[in-house]
Amino acid sequence: MPDDVAPVPPASFSLAVDAMGGDNAPEVVLDGLELAAERHPHARFLLVGDEARLGALLALRRRAAKACSLRHAPDSIPGDLKPTAALRIRGSSMRVAIDAVASGEAAGIVSAGNTGALMALAKIVVKTLPEIDRPALAAIGPSARGDVVMLDLGANLQCDARNLVEFAVMGDAFARSVLGLTRPTIGLLNVGSEELKGDERVRQAADTLRDSLFGENFRGFVEGHDIAAGTVDVIVTDGFTGNVALKTGEGALKLMRDLLRQVFTSTIPARVGYLLARPALDRLREWMDPRRYNGAVLIGLNGVVVKSHGGTDALGFAHAVDVAMDMVTHRFNDRIREGLARLSQVAPRLTDASR
């Protein structure tokens, strides 16, 4: 990919971290940063929250203390607060951290706090890239053929063809930056793989993606079962469908895990069988560990915004930091800008036609 983008002055901090968001904040956040600081020795974190409390916790964590600078924020946003109400709390740790991204002081933010508030604040304060109509929520999950990126996961419940094409551009950039793929394959989620399936919206998006943008790396329509099969690296869909699909897949895997647990405790031979198979089963468990996939990303903004699961532990939080660091290090937003520049050259008409 050509390096035709003007260099941006480096931010003072790799990431701003909302220390007060999540079920077990700030302890889990600090433990996560202790792990992250070991993995990313050159990273600098702007740690935002209750200064006195954070200072005491940092004193016990040598690596995190070295990597972090403290910034006081008097308030925090409760997990169940409506986004509109959250926007009014100017002294919240999430808000102060996001302000640091908007000012260019930090390259991105990681928060385990209120998802709706983070999305609303990020859109309003960090702002959408000028070339993008709407930011999207993306995440990585396991499949039979390696990790898969899916977006949108709920930021935009109704999408037009233009939005879907933008999601594909952003998903492509995300797979390059975070999965390290050089030429990710892309599929558009639909009810069948034949070209005539689906509504006008997905067919129009597919035409643009195939004919103008990704060529043969766009694999056309994919179906629900292609997500777990790993047929493509990037699955593109609207936020309603993506959110339902993500949770449906997670629910099916949870059902299977619960049933296996019952099976392996149901009889004495089954218990013994479990003990024998346990090392192999543990590798499977590790491979599917949700903490390895922690970190949903709001992409299409003037900065990196990563949402950690609220109930994660230190290892999960450190993974969310990994995702953010990959995006910062691999110039994620530059890649998006490059993709969007190609889009405006090849498919200006889509913009007019679908609005």
CB 15, min distance to a copy of itself, A: 28
Q: Which residues contact 223 (CB under 8 A, 6 or more apart)?
A: 189, 190, 191, 192, 193
Residue 186 Cα distances to 125, 165, 342, angstroms: 31, 11, 16
Q: How far apart are CA 306 and CA 112, in angstroms?
A: 9
CB 329, min distance to a copy of itself, A: 31
Q: Which residues contact 17 (CB under 8 A, 6 or more apart)?
A: 29, 33, 45, 46, 47, 48, 68, 97, 109, 110, 111, 321
Q: Confirm or reject binding of residue 84 to a copy of itself (CB under 8 A).
A: no
CB 180, min distance to a copy of itself, A: 23
Q: Confirm or reject binding of residue 261 to a copy of itself (CB under 8 A).
A: no
Q: Which of 192, 235, 189, 184 is nearest to 214 (CA)?
A: 184
Q: Tell me whether residue 284 or residue 346 sits nearer to a copy of itself (CB atom).
A: 284
Q: Confirm or reject binding of residue 2 to a copy of itself (CB under 8 A).
A: no
With contacts defined by CB under 8 A, name the span among 4-12, 14-22, 153-161, 322-330 that binds a copy of itself.
153-161
Q: Confirm or reject binding of residue 252 to a copy of itself (CB under 8 A).
A: yes
CB 352, min distance to a copy of itself, A: 23
Answer left, alpha or beta for residue 2, where phi above 0 means left and psi between -120 and 50 means alpha: beta
The number of beta carbons lying within 10 Å of the beta carbon of residue 47 is 28
Q: Which of 48, 54, 28, 77 is nearest to 317 (CA)?
A: 28
Pick the binder of a copy of itself from 1, 8, 124, 157 (CB under 8 A). Answer: 157
CB 273, min distance to a copy of itself, A: 3
Q: Confirm or reject binding of residue 120 to a copy of itself (CB under 8 A).
A: no
Strands of 27-130, DSSP E: 45-49, 68-72, 108-111
CB 333, min distance to a copy of itself, A: 26
Q: Tell me whether residue 26 or residue 239 sits nearer to a copy of itself (CB atom).
A: 239
Q: How far apart are CA 13 and CA 43, in angstroms?
A: 7
Check: CB of residue 93 under 8 Å from CB of residue 126: no
Pick the binder of a copy of itself from 177, 237, 294, 308 (CB under 8 A). Answer: 237
CB 53, min distance to a copy of itself, A: 31
Q: Confirm or reject binding of residue 143 to a copy of itself (CB under 8 A).
A: yes
Residues of this chain, 296-325, that bind a copy of itself according to CB under 8 A: none
Note the residues at the interface with a copy of itself (CB under 8 A).
Answer: 143-144, 154, 157-158, 189, 191, 198-199, 223-229, 237, 239-241, 243-256, 258-260, 263-264, 266-267, 269-270, 272-281, 283-284, 287
